[in-house]
Amino acid sequence: MRARPVPHEQEEPAVAASESVTTNVDTAEVPSAEWGWSGEAPRFFRFLGWFFAAFLLVYTIGNHEGKVEDIWLVGIAAFMVFMLVRDIIRRRKPR
């Protein structure tokens, strides 16, 4: 009877003493994270959130007669602003 092969533990990538890897991505799930291609960009995503919230409000200017579109646009933009402000508050609180 043959024994099942034991899966090898993943080896940690060799990192020089001067380098520091600061990513929350597991290299087992995303192999390219080892090369630094899969980092997070929270400042960029926050900027995009504010940009698109303002962009949705610009859509309220137009030649449409009904106000249903305006309600949806303002509602979605308000939700985005709420989430962004909540994120600002959560980042300021010490954990």
pLDDT of res. 63: 82
Name the pTM for this structure: 0.58
Burial 31-47 (b: 16+ CB within 10 A, else e): eebeeeebeeeeeeeee
Closest CA to 69 of 60, 77, 78: 60
pLDDT tens digits, one per residue of 17-50: 455 555 566 666 666 666 665 556 788 899 999 9
* pLDDT grade for 65, boundaries at 50, 70 and 90: confident
N-to-C CA span, the chain: 53
The tokens 């989430």 sit on which residue? 83
